[in-house]
């Protein structure tokens, strides 16, 4: 397994909840665990509302962190 596949699998295992709605990529992109070492490199969808999630924990707004899963907030 390559590094990208391992990161994707760990992130999906950690946060994805099929009952929560949305794709696993959208849910992972919305992850608010900024202390996770994988947070800056977590996967995200290629397009759509969650395509460009914040990558630098220092620049993330509190509004973005408190947004419910599935609700797009501009970082």
Residue 19 placed within a domain: yes
Residue 71 placed within a domain: no
Residue 44 placed within a domain: yes
Residue 73 placed within a domain: no
Mean pLDDT over each residue of the chain, to the nearest integer: 85
Residue 72 placed within a domain: no
Summarised one tens digit per residue, pLDDT across range 36-72 is 999 999 999 999 888 888 898 888 877 776 666 555 5
More confident residue, 30 or 6: 6
- How many domains are there within the chain? 1
Q: Band of the pLDDT at 7, cuts 50, 70, 90?
A: very high
Contact 27, 62 (CB under 8 A): no
pLDDT in the model for residue 75: 46
The answer, yes or no, to whether residue 73 has pLDDT greater than 60, is no
Distances (CA, A) of 65 to 13, 30, 71: 20, 8, 11
DSSP state of 68: P
Q: Which residue range(s) make up the domain with 43?
A: 3-66
Contact 57, 34 (CB under 8 A): yes
């Amino acid at each position: 397994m390559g590094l990208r596949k391992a990161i994707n699998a760990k992130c999906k295992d950690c946060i994805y909840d099929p009952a929560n709605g949305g794709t696993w990529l959208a849910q992972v992109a919305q992850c608010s665990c900024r202390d996770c070492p994988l947070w800056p490199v977590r996967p995200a969808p290629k397009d759509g509302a969650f395509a460009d999630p914040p990558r630098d924990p220092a620049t993330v707004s509190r509004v973005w962190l408190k947004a419910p899963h599935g609700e797009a907030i501009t970082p």
